[in-house]
Amino acid sequence: MTKTKVTLSIDKQVASHAKVELAKKGENMSETVERFLEALSSSGDVNKMLGVLGIQRRRVGSEEIEKSRPKGLDAAEAVREMRNARKESISGH
């Protein structure tokens, strides 16, 4: 892959902090910016596909997830009952 040089203007403290943190991971700024830009490009492709399929992308919060879950069986209670039944069958009571 052919590389091209890019000049960025970034806050000095942000750049310094990023370089230190990246160095701890054995990475550098160029690799990280390139990965970010690749992800951004991929994200754009995903959004295009969703648009073609007529699907809207949206964030879903934990409250909405909880509300959408089916009501009924309480998994913790079911496990407790199975454990108690097993314990009784093992102990012979």
Record the pTM: 0.48
- Radius of gyration of the chain measured on its C-alpha atoms: 26
Q: What is the pLDDT of residues 40-71, one digit of tens each?
A: 788 788 888 778 778 888 888 888 888 887 77
Mean pLDDT value across the chain: 86
- Are 29 and 15 spatial neighbours (Cβ–Cβ below 8 Å)? yes
pLDDT confidence of 91, banded at 50, 70, 90?
confident
